[in-house]
C-alpha cells in the first residue's frame, strides 16, 4: 500500500471518504473528468473495502462482462488507482465533516489531519446489524458472529468460526457463508428466515444452499440462545404473519455457532454533524440525480447511500458521482429546480429522492427494492396522479434491486414510484 505524504494537506480539490469499491470508482471517474488533486481517506490498512474478503466469484458480470472474485474485482481498481497516481491515506479514520467541507481525520502516522475540500464524496459503505439489535433472549456465550465478521475470519485471517452452525437470516452474506462453511468442512444445520421470502439473490439460494443440501426455513426465527462459555444450541420457532413466534413450534438445534445475516445499515454518522439530510427509508443521504446531498458539493454513493445487491451497480453509480463532483469543482454545477421522488406502495429504498428538472443527461435512472415478492406486477411512475411511465415485470423480490429510467423532459412536478400487482 502506497501512502501519500501528509504534509501541507490543507486544501484538496476532492476528498473521498472510504476506499472501497465506491470510493475508488468515484476517484477514477473524477480523475478521468479532469480532477488531479484527489485524496482518498480509508480507515483500514488497505483499499478495497469489503471486496477483499469476498473470495467467491460472481463479481463483475455487469461491469466487465467477466466473472471475477471480489478480490480480483478490487484489484482492477487498486491497479488503476496506482496507474493514475491517485493519492490515498490508509489507517486514516475520518472523525468529522462540516457544511464547509472541512474534514478532521486521525491516523497513527499523521496524527490529526485537517483538510478543506472543494468537494467531498461520502463512500463509507455499510455495517452489519448486530445481535443487540435483535433482542434474542438467552445467555451471552462465545460463538455468535455476524456473517461479515465470520467471512473476514475465514477468508482473511484463516479461522473457522465453528463446526455446527445455524445461520439466522437469508441475506446474501449469510447465503455465501453457508456455502463457504460447507466447503471448509463445517456443518450448516439450518438457515432460518423470519420472512416468507429471502432477502438474498435467487442465484445465491440455488448455488449456496440448494447445491449443498442446506435447509432454508422460512417464517422461522431464533427465539433463544443456550450455552454459558460457548453456544450449545439455539431454539428455532415458527412465526405468524405478524412475525410473532407461534407457541408450541419451538425446536432445539444443538450447535456451537450462530451466524447472523440480518441486514446492513449504511455508515452515516458523519452526515449528522454536516447537517446532511438523511432518508429514514434508505438509511443513507437524500440525493438528487447527480448524487449530490442536501449540502452543496457533498456527494454520496455505494453502500453508504443505499445497500446494493451487486458491486457492479456500486461501481456504475459511483462513476456518476465522481463525474458530477468533478463538474462541481470546475464550477459547472447547475442550480436547476428540483422535484421530489417518493416511494409509493410496494417500494422501499428509492434513490434518487430528488430530480433536477434540467441536467446534462436526458434520462433519469431510479433504483429501489420491492417491499415484498410480486408476481406479474407493474412498476409505475406517476406525477400529479397521471402515469408518466410504466414497465411490467414477471417477478420482483426484495433481494434484487429494480431499476427503471425516465425521460427528464417528461418530469414537471413531484413523482411517485409504486408497484401494482396485476
Which residues are near ligand FAD by CB under 6 A? 17-23, 41-44, 49-51, 54, 59, 70, 93-94, 123-126, 148, 151, 172-173, 176, 264, 267, 302-304, 308, 310-311, 314
Strand partners, 407: 363
Which candidate, 92, 84, 102, 77, places its Cα nearest to that of 38? 84
- In angstroms, rounded to a whole number, what is the distance separating the alpha carbons of residues 253 and 166? 8
SS3 category, 326: helix
- Smallest separation, CB 59 to ligand FAD (Å): 6
- Smallest separation, CB 49 to ligand FAD (Å): 2
- Smallest separation, CB 235 to ligand FAD (Å): 26
Which residue number, 56 or 416, has a Cβ lying nearer to ligand FAD?
Answer: 56
- Smallest separation, CB 146 to ligand FAD (Å): 8
Cell numbers 445455524 correspond to: 166
Which residue number, 123 or 255, has a Cβ lying nearer to ligand FAD?
Answer: 123
- Smallest separation, CB 145 to ligand FAD (Å): 11
Q: How many C-beta neighbours within 10 Å does residue 331 have? A: 7
- Smallest separation, CB 264 to ligand FAD (Å): 6
- In angstroms, rounded to a whole number, what is the distance separating the alpha carbons of residues 350 and 401? 10
Which residue number, 163 or 203, has a Cβ lying nearer to ligand FAD?
Answer: 203
- Smallest separation, CB 316 to ligand FAD (Å): 11
SS3 category, 86: coil
Which residue number, 269 or 362, has a Cβ lying nearer to ligand FAD?
Answer: 269
In this structure, are strands 374-383 and 386-396 parallel, antiparallel, or unpaired? antiparallel
Which candidate, 145, 179, 186, 232, places its Cα nearest to that of 56? 179
- 278 CB-contact burial (10 Å; exposed 0-12 / middle 13-18 / buried 19+): middle
- In angstroms, rounded to a whole number, what is the distance separating the alpha carbons of residues 325 and 120? 8
Angle at 351 between CA 96 and CA 294, to 5 degrees: 40
Which residue number, 314 or 411, has a Cβ lying nearer to ligand FAD?
Answer: 314
Which residue number, 267 or 418, has a Cβ lying nearer to ligand FAD?
Answer: 267
Which residue number, 258 or 304, has a Cβ lying nearer to ligand FAD?
Answer: 304
- Smallest separation, CB 144 to ligand FAD (Å): 16
Which residue number, 127 or 330, has a Cβ lying nearer to ligand FAD?
Answer: 127
264: Cβ contacts below 8 Å, ≥ 6 apart? 126, 127, 128, 129, 171, 303, 307
Amino acid at each position: 500500500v502506497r501512502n501519500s505524504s501528509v504534509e501541507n494537506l490543507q486544501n484538496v480539490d476532492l476528498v473521498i471518504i472510504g476506499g472501497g469499491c465506491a470510493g475508488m470508482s468515484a476517484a477514477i471517474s473524477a480523475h478521468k473528468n479532469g480532477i488531479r488533486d484527489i485524496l482518498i481517506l480509508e480507515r483500514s490498512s488497505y483499499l478495497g473495502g469489503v471486496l477483499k474478503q469476498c473470495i467467491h466469484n460472481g463479481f463483475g458480470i455487469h461491469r466487465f462482462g467477466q466473472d471475477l472474485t471480489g478480490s480480483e474485482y478490487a484489484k482492477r481498481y487498486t491497479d488503476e488507482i496506482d496507474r493514475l497516481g491517485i493519492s490515498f491515506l490508509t489507517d486514516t479514520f475520518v472523525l468529522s465533516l462540516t457544511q464547509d467541507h472541512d474534514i478532521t481525520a486521525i491516523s497513527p502516522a499523521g496524527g490529526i489531519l485537517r483538510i478543506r475540500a472543494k468537494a467531498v464524496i461520502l463512500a463509507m459503505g455499510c455495517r452489519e446489524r448486530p445481535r443487540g439489535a435483535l433482542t434474542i433472549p438467552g445467555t451471552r456465550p462465545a460463538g455468535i458472529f455476524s456473517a461479515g465478521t465470520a467471512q473476514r475470519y475465514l477468508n482473511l485471517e484463516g479461522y473457522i468460526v465453528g463446526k455446527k452452525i445455524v445461520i439466522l437470516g437469508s441475506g446474501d452474506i449469510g447465503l455465501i457463508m453457508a456455502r463457504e462453511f460447507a466447503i471448509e468442512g463445517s456443518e450448516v444445520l439450518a438457515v432460518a428466515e423470519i420472512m416468507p421470502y429471502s432477502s438474498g439473490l435467487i442465484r445465491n439460494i440455488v448455488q449456496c444452499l440448494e447445491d449443498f443440501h442446506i435447509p432454508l426455513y422460512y417464517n422461522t426465527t431464533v427465539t433463544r440462545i443456550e450455552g454459558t462459555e460457548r453456544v450449545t444450541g439455539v431454539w428455532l420457532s415458527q412465526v405468524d404473519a405478524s412475525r410473532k413466534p407461534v407457541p408450541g413450534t419451538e425446536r432445539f438445534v444443538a450447535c456451537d455457532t450462530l451466524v447472523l445475516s440480518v441486514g446492513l445499515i449504511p455508515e452515516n454518522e458523519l452526515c449528522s454533524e454536516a447537517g446532511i439530510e438523511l432518508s429514514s427509508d434508505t438509511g443513507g443521504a437524500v440525493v438528487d440525480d447527480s448524487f449530490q446531498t442536501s449540502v452543496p458539493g457533498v456527494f454520496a454513493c455505494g453502500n453508504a447511500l443505499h445497500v446494493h445487491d451487486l458491486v457492479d451497480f456500486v461501481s456504475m453509480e459511483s462513476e456518476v458521482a465522481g463525474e458530477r463532483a468533478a463538474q462541481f469543482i470546475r464550477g459547472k454545477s447547475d442550480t436547476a429546480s428540483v422535484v421530489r421522488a417518493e416511494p409509493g406502495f410496494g417500494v422501499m429504498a428509492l434513490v434518487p429522492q430528488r430530480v433536477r428538472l434540467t441536467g446534462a443527461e436526458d434520462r433519469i435512472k431510479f433504483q429501489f427494492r420491492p417491499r415484498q415478492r410480486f408476481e406479474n406486477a407493474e412498476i409505475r411512475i406517476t406525477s400529479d396522479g397521471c402515469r408518466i411511465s410504466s414497465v411490467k415485470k414477471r417477478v420482483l423480490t426484495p433481494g434484487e434491486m429494480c431499476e427503471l429510467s425516465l425521460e427528464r423532459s417528461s418530469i414537471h412536478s413531484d413523482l411517485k414510484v409504486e408497484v401494482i400487482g396485476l
